[in-house]
Amino acid sequence: MTTLHDPTVRSFASDNYSGVHPDVLAAITAANDGHQVAYGEDVYTARLQEVFAGHFGDGVEAFPVFNGTGANVTGLQSMLPRWGAVVSASTAHINVDEGGAPERVAGIKILNVPTEDGKLTPDLVDLEAWGWGDEHRAQPLVVSITQSTELGTLYTPDEIRALADHAHARGMFLHLDGARIANAAAALDLPLRAFTRDVGVDVLSFGGTKNGALGAEAIVVLDPAASVGLQYLRKLNMQLASKMRFVSAQLIALLEDDLYLRNARHANAMAQRLRGAVEAGIADGSIRGVAFSQPTQSNGVFATLPDGVADALRTSFRFYDWDAAKNEVRWMCAFDTSEADVDAFVAELSRLT
């Protein structure tokens, strides 16, 4: 097949726009020869369990799936009875960007709480964590957080521990959507387990696709008491890969030699380069009318632009509006974003403002 796209076109819309890291493609190729037992009874999926245990500790179990929505929906479904509800930030992916899948597929009520920075606190959780025993109210039994958040912000380990203790004291479990968990690990400069298992997270979605994989995520059960029936729910939710070795091989490639961390560090560094260059332009007057709406703590930059600038800039670089009413936009960097990409983007922004 001939190449159908222009590989020189660059984007700041999403880390999902990036290609597949060459080492991940090589891992798929390495797993390709011969036959392996289907549906997860292969040597790559067995090895993946050891790799996850190396990062999160003994006793964890990983369930490879195709995508982040599938990981979130299936993982949460395993944590809740039919009458259960999930408390999340209003900006959470499960609340905004999954097409109602938690409600429609898993039958889960989302109790969402507005936040300024995409982060929950124990006090915010309590706005919706009430009504236990009331047969008229969906029962809040899980708190779900995102790390790094949809606004590019980070929870510290102490903040997650406070949420976990708060949830557990109320008979609730703590779920973590880790679509960009690698970016959080890189920004915090901490091992994965330091802000997950060690501080009370019960079940997490581990993201690979946004960090160099072709299409590979996993549900990771850190506390077996928090999850029931995943071996059945994964198939029920159409997330059981028949040729699972190719999903597992991608995650092994990311995790076995810390490729996930190198990729995420680069993406985070490009976001810092982007923000720093825009800040410098604001300071010297070459960029006018631009302000930042969130701290840049991982690989996303959130900013507000003058009227008309976003659409003009999008003729050269695609990116998304975050809140069009406020002229707020999101610029995402990926593992393959280059310094030249950033510099060209900032130069065009400067020209347009």
- Residue 80: pLDDT band (50, 70, 90) is very high
Query: CA–CA separation, 81 vs 101, rounded Å?
Result: 17
**Average pLDDT of span 308-315:** 97
Task: Domain ranges for the chain, please list them.
Answer: 22-256, 260-352
Spatial contact of 131 and 140, defined as CB atoms under 8 Å apart: yes
**Average pLDDT of span 50-62:** 98
Q: What is the pLDDT of residue 229?
A: 98
Mind listing the pLDDT tens digit for each residue in 171-201?
999 999 999 999 999 999 999 999 999 999 9
Both tokens assigned to 201:
């997270």
Mind listing the pLDDT tens digit for each residue in 201-222?
999 999 999 999 999 999 999 9
Place of tokens 């990981």: 71
Both tokens assigned to 345:
């983007």
Q: What is the pLDDT of residue 304?
A: 98
Look at strands 173-178 and 109-113 and give their pairing.
unpaired
- Going by C-alpha positions, the residue among 181, 212, 168 that lies closest to residue 79 is 168
DSSP code for 226: G
Mind listing the pLDDT tens digit for each residue in 316-343?
999 999 999 999 999 999 999 999 999 9
- Residue 228: pLDDT band (50, 70, 90) is very high
Both tokens assigned to 168:
């557990």
Fold of the domain built from segment(s) 260-352 = Aspartate Aminotransferase, domain 1 (3.90.1150)
> Which architecture does CATH list for 22-256?
3-Layer(aba) Sandwich (3.40)
Helix (H, G, I), strand (E, B) or coil at 204: strand
Look at strands 320-323 and 203-207 and give their pairing.
unpaired
Cα angle 167, 171, 175; round to 5: 50
Specify the pTM.
0.97
Residues 6+ away with beta carbon under 8 Å from 172: 87, 129, 140, 141, 142, 143
Spatial contact of 204 and 256, defined as CB atoms under 8 Å apart: no
Place of tokens 């997860």: 40
Query: CA–CA separation, 47 vs 45, rounded Å?
Result: 5
Both tokens assigned to 210:
């946004």
Tell whether omega for the bond before 148 is within 30 degrees of 0, i.e. cis.
Answer: yes
Query: pLDDT over 90 for what percent of the chain?
Result: 100
Mean pLDDT of the chain: 98
DSSP code for 88: E
Residue 187 C-alpha from the chain's centroid: 14
Tell me how long the chain is.
353
